[in-house]
Amino acid sequence: MNHPLEPLSAGEITHAVDLLKQAGKVTPTTRFVSVSLKEPPKADVHGWDGAKALPRRAFAVLFDNATNTAHESVIHLTDNRLHSFRSLTGVQPTMTVDEQVECEQAVLRSPLFREALRRHAGDVDPALVMVDIWSAGNYGSEEDRTLRLARPLCFLRRDATDNGYARPLEGIRPVVDLNRMEVIRVEEHGSWPIPESSCHYAASRIPDQRRDIKAIDITQPQGPSFTVEGRTVTWQNWTLVVGFNAREGLTLHHIRYRDGGRDRSILYRASLTEMVVPYGDPGPTQARKNAFDVGEYGMGMCANSLQLGCDCLGHIHYFDADLCTSRGEPLKIANAICMHEEDFGILWKHTDRRLPDSPEVRRSRRLVISSVSTVENYEYGFFWYLYQDGNIQLEVKLTGILSLGSLPLGTKPPHGVLVAPHVYAPNHQHFFNVRLDFDIDGMANTVQQVDVVADPPSGSNPFENAFRARATSLTGEVMARSHLCLETGRSWKIVNPAVKNHVGDPVGYRFLPGDNAFPFASPNAWWRKRARFVDHHVWVTPWHEDENFAAGDYPNQSAGDDGLIRWTGQDRPIENTDVVFWYTFGHTHLPRPEDYPVMPTAYIGFLLKPSGFFNLNPANDVPPSPARKAGQGCCESPGETKGPEATILLGVPNRGG
Ligand code: NI
């Protein structure tokens, strides 16, 4: 029996598309922006017995290019009918992958663009021009409000397969009406040099590669320790559902931990809700550069098909992603999600010096569930980790190619860094927002802000060494808006006030932030109006069905002030209720020459740690791994007598059976 939170299957997506067509809601100019699961009511999922399927529904976002109108529809798949259909004017849904491709072709065939290209680059083959669709944003103009626009960036390859990003066409900025799929003008900004070198990174272009690397193979002769049924994954004590959709990409659902024979709920839903990359160069060719990669591009739409041995190493279980094209045709991204186990060093260790021959040490192992998206020049990897000690971690991996500009020789960019002659990378930031719908042992939870404070000197603190954790229960949305604070080592704790652990405290999970940043652009900057979620690192809301995206449902070309800033302005009570914890985390990227031509991965994320959720170290029962002799590899090294347990690289002893 499939879990009710599983994403729509290919068949269900086609069914939804067919029902919309049968209802006369699809014209030749209609695009399907997304068709995803409309999740069943939460109480139904918590009460689901696994015996009878819950009704399946789809949520579709459509856009009609002829009328510049968006439509939202909820479709009852089980009952074969449209439940609702409403039209929205004045919003621009996510640009579809089809529009990316069509926009490039529209620019390349445009006479306006060809003339501008000739003026800037001479007589070059237009087939060597790369056109990356970039969102237009909203800068207060009439066309920003009334047209569906893109402002692509263009680059000139030397040949058909080299690194075109190394050669920006800085001086020309086409503006494309995506409804008519036509260049409406080309903005020209004077003459700029086109860098000479393509500075390669493709293996076929790097003849002198290092030769001193020997293979690392990860083998699990007994297979992995997880089981998969549909999209439900069970791994040691963990159970969860792996989701995916066109907008958010990878999502995790209904995360539970088996403790003392009970499946205890922790997180109901975890998702990336938005991310924005604002650039910090005020120059005329760069000032409009920012990208909302979830709301404007669709992180799931941009997901890669992952490859064994390259993206993923070990015993991998892949999940495909079923989406649809903008015309409603099935679109399968094979191997969009990778799941595997990783050895993660030491889980815990102690040597009793009176018993030196029996140190107690355990290997840590984590379950990795990941997906990688390519948003034009940049790559984002989203890696969720579950650990044996109850920890849950998100690590975002940033890699790919910097968004580059060109400069005359001898010029130093004040708002960026030269990475090669004529080539510079503007300073920028990456802000992510993650929505964590906690259900710690039930739906009614409270968020506490925990600050560590020193006791004042007093008779009861004679050596002035005392400090304590001060937990403040957050009661309202406005109060809950807050920033990280290094001075107080601020963290947050999500507790269930009604469920006490064995020492009488409410059970909870602690939220531990990682690296973070403040935005450097002014609050008046155009992009910040649309990204008010960067105003605070932490936000807490009471759960609401329609509140899923930190910058609002339609940030593309929006006027702004939507999403978290608007909802939390209501200052609704958030204590002892179904709370949602939102975290904004930023990476300030001052580029380096070493980020060129392709950027070594940078990492950012956060950690969730059980804090009074369990009665003791939940990994106390992890058995020791078998000891091996130095130099002994796995499986078949000669002269060693081993049981099957010794052949496992990622292993626990085989305890009979
Ligand atoms: Ni960056």
Percent of the chain with pLDDT over 90: 93
- Tokens representing 261 are 């024979």
Q: Are residue 137 and residue 52 in the same domain, yes or no?
A: no
Does residue 167 fall inside a structural domain?
yes
CB 377 within 8 A of CB 165: yes
Q: Which residues pair with 35 in a beta bridge?
A: 60
Tell me the pLDDT of the chain averaged across its residues: 94
Does residue 506 fall inside a structural domain?
yes
CA of 592 to the centre of ligand 1 (A): 10
Which pLDDT value is given to residue 638? 38
Find the mean pLDDT for residues 554-562: 96
Tell me the pLDDT band of 628, cut-offs 50, 70 and 90. confident
Q: Are residue 503 and residue 571 in the same domain, yes or no?
A: yes
Q: Which residues pair with 493 in a beta bridge?
A: 448, 510
Residues with beta carbon < 5 A to ion ligand 1? 589
Does residue 1 fall inside a structural domain?
no
pLDDT at 97 over 50: yes
Q: Of 132, 162, 177, 293, which is the active-site residue?
A: 293
Which pLDDT value is given to residue 356? 78
Residues 6+ apart with CB under 8 A from 172: 113, 116, 117, 120, 154, 186, 187, 188, 189
Over residues 69-81, the pLDDT tens digits come to: 999 999 999 999 9
Radius of gyration over every alpha carbon of the chain, rounded to an integer in angstroms: 27
CA of 601 to the centre of ligand 1 (A): 10
| Catalytic status, residue 378 | yes
Q: Are residue 621 and residue 551 in the same domain, yes or no?
A: yes
Last residue of a domain, one of 205, 232, 261: 205
Secondary structure (DSSP) of 258-307: EETTEEEEEEEEEEEEEEEEEB---STTTTT-EEEIIIII-TTTTBPPP-
Give, for 21, the enclosing helix (H) or strand (E). Answer: helix 10-22
Does residue 655 fall inside a structural domain?
no
Residue 125 identity (one-letter amino acid): D
Which pLDDT value is given to residue 357? 84
Tell me the pLDDT band of 533, cut-offs 50, 70 and 90. very high
Which pLDDT value is given to residue 615? 96
Q: CATH code at 616?
A: 2.70.98.20
CA of 293 to the centre of ligand 1 (A): 13
CB 488 within 8 A of CB 453: yes
| CA triple 558-559-563, angle to 5 deg | 70
- Tokens representing 477 are 């949305």
Which pLDDT value is given to residue 640? 39
Which pLDDT value is given to residue 654? 38
Total domain count for the chain? 3
CA of 430 to the centre of ligand 1 (A): 6
pLDDT at 326 over 90: yes
Residues in the chain: 657
Q: CATH code at 148?
A: 3.10.450.40
Which pLDDT value is given to residue 627? 85
CA of 561 to the centre of ligand 1 (A): 25
Tell me the pLDDT band of 632, cut-offs 50, 70 and 90. low
Tell me the pLDDT band of 475, cut-offs 50, 70 and 90. very high
Dist CA 606 CA 74 (whole Å): 34
Q: Are residue 68 and residue 107 in the same domain, yes or no?
A: no
Q: Are residue 48 and residue 129 in the same domain, yes or no?
A: no
Does residue 3 fall inside a structural domain?
no
CA of 373 to the centre of ligand 1 (A): 14
CB 586 within 8 A of CB 533: no
CA dihedral 207, 210, 215, 216 (to 10 degrees): -120
Q: Are residue 510 and residue 456 in the same domain, yes or no?
A: yes
Domain of residue 506, residue span = 216-650
Give, for 230, the enclosing helix (H) or strand (E). Answer: none
CA of 200 to the centre of ligand 1 (A): 19
CA of 170 to the centre of ligand 1 (A): 19
579-589/599-610 β-pairing: unpaired
| Catalytic status, residue 318 | no
Give, for 642, the enclosing helix (H) or strand (E). Answer: none
Over residues 205-249, the pLDDT tens digits come to: 999 999 999 999 999 999 999 999 999 999 999 999 999 999 999
Q: Are residue 268 and residue 410 in the same domain, yes or no?
A: yes
Does residue 587 fall inside a structural domain?
yes
Dist CA 117 CA 129 (whole Å): 9
CA of 267 to the centre of ligand 1 (A): 30
CA of 604 to the centre of ligand 1 (A): 12
Which pLDDT value is given to residue 223? 95
Q: Are residue 221 and residue 140 in the same domain, yes or no?
A: no
- Tokens representing 240 are 């969860």
Which pLDDT value is given to residue 630? 80
Over residues 572-583, the pLDDT tens digits come to: 999 999 999 999
Q: Are residue 269 and residue 330 in the same domain, yes or no?
A: yes
pLDDT at 631 over 90: no
CA of 425 to the centre of ligand 1 (A): 9
Does residue 538 fall inside a structural domain?
yes
Secondary structure (DSSP) of 391-413: -EEEEEEEEE----EE--TT---
CB 397 within 8 A of CB 381: yes
pLDDT at 636 over 80: no
Does residue 656 fall inside a structural domain?
no
Q: Are residue 190 and residue 224 in the same domain, yes or no?
A: no
Q: Of 279, 378, 380, 596, which is the active-site residue?
A: 378
* E strand intervals along 103-202: 129-132, 149-150, 153-156, 172-177, 182-188
Last residue of a domain, one of 186, 205, 224: 205
Last residue of a domain, one of 155, 186, 205: 205
Q: Are residue 240 and residue 270 in the same domain, yes or no?
A: yes
Dist CA 657 CA 654 (whole Å): 8
CB atoms within 10 A of CB 412: 9
Which pLDDT value is given to residue 1? 84
CA of 630 to the centre of ligand 1 (A): 42
Which pLDDT value is given to residue 642? 38
CA of 420 to the centre of ligand 1 (A): 17
Q: Are residue 237 and residue 279 in the same domain, yes or no?
A: yes
